[in-house]
Amino acid sequence: MIKFFFCSLIVGGIIFMVLGIRQSKSNRKLLSDFYIEDKLNVSLMRYHHILLYIFLSGYILVLIFFFLDKFHTSELITSGVFFLGAVFVFLENQLNHNSISVMKSNLDKTLRISSALEHERERLMSLNRQLVETEDVTIYALAYQAEIRDTITGNHILRTAKYVQLLVEDLMENSKYSKYITTEYKTEIVKSAPLHDIGKVGIPDKILQKEGTFTKEEFDIMKKHCLLGAQIIRKAIERLNFKSFLSIAEQMTLSHHEKWDGSGYPNGLIGENIPLSGRIMAVADVYDALRAKRQYKDPFSHKKACNIILEEKGTHFDPEIVSSFERVEDQFEQISIAFDNEDS
Ligand SMILES: [Fe+2]
């Protein structure tokens, strides 16, 4: 009975040893990537595996000699197996320790790389922000160059950009143009707005700064600022090999004096043939002109400016955009007060 119990223990040991060898093979395969350059660990893994086979052989021998009643021989083998067992445990622990060290080292490397990448990403984002801000400031500086020579002084370019933003945000939500106006379009049209009168740099001072109304000849020259502005922007576009907001800026600059009924300039475009950017700027530009003081007139009240824009719905202006203006006109008034000319 006792013999049968010992025998069962040894057979059980053999079964577990076979399973252990299979597991060891699988582990060797998994760990080989970690130890690819580590000769010590590669050797340890090999010895560890060989020991498992020796163990298995020892168990089988003990079983055989046990059946043959060779007690002394089986005891000798058992002692050897015990000794090897101690070596096996040592190797196993050493391997586990090395595995943990290698994994920790790899993890540290990964964390360092990840930290460096995060740092680089933040640096690039910061550079990108600076680039965008520099671009915005450059646009305002360019636009101001034309504006400073004009009798229309002050925050005209700043206010019109804000009016354009108000209109485009409302049109995005509440008009038939909502599918056409993407977030990217909104950003680009707002960025383009300050450049709408850039062509005035090409208009002589005596016309640009004239007090009183223009003669027909003078007005014809003044009208050229649309074409001149579009030409300036076109020159910049030709130097770029990617699509930029300047395409919208070019359209807006060329078309912001077109009228819905075709009576505008420079091309007499009708209705939706006028680029949307030009139609939006037309409302913003006229509102600002009505609210501003000129040599020939005092500033109109917000109410009067609104009435004039409403009267020209469908003649001068796109009806859809005037509807949008009606929804946000109180915010127009707030901007016109907040960014009045006194600080310029
Ligand atoms: Fe203009």
CA torsion through residues 192, 176, 318, 285, sign: negative
Q: Please give the average per-residue pLDDT across 20-35, as a whole number.
A: 72
Domain containing residue 155: 150-343
Read off the DSSP letter of residue 292: S
The answer to whether position 135 is within a domain reads no
d(CA 203, ligand 1 centre) in Å: 12
Average pLDDT, the chain: 86
- The pLDDT assigned to 230 comes to 96
- Ligand 1 centroid to residue 240 C-alpha, Å: 25
**Cα 62 to ligand 1 centre (Å):** 104
Per mean pLDDT, which of 96-105, 181-190, 296-305 is the most reliable?
181-190
CA of 58 to the centre of ligand 1 (A): 99
Give the domain CATH number at 180. Answer: 1.10.3210.10
pLDDT at 70 over 80: no
What's the 344 CA to ligand 1 centre distance in angstroms? Answer: 20
Exposure on the CB side of residue 102, measured as CA atoms within 13 A: 18
Ligand 1 centroid, distance to 274 Cα (angstroms): 15
Rounded to the nearest 10 degrees, the angle between the axes of helix 276-291 and helix 183-192 is: 50
Classify burial at 94, counting beta carbons within 10 Å of its beta carbon; exposed 0-12, middle 13-18, buried 19 or more: middle
Q: In the prediction, which pLDDT does 151 show?
A: 60
Q: Write out pLDDT tens, residues 277-322.
A: 999 999 999 999 999 887 777 889 999 999 999 999 999 999 999 9
In a domain, 131, yes or no: no
Q: Clarify whether residues 243 and 331 are in a common domain.
A: yes
Shared-domain flag, residues 118 and 168: no
Whether residue 108 is found in the same domain as residue 253: no
If asked whether residues 204 and 312 sit together in one domain, one would say yes
Same-domain pairing of 107 and 214: no
How many domains does the structure of the chain reveal? 2
Q: Quick one: pLDDT at residue 1? A: 67
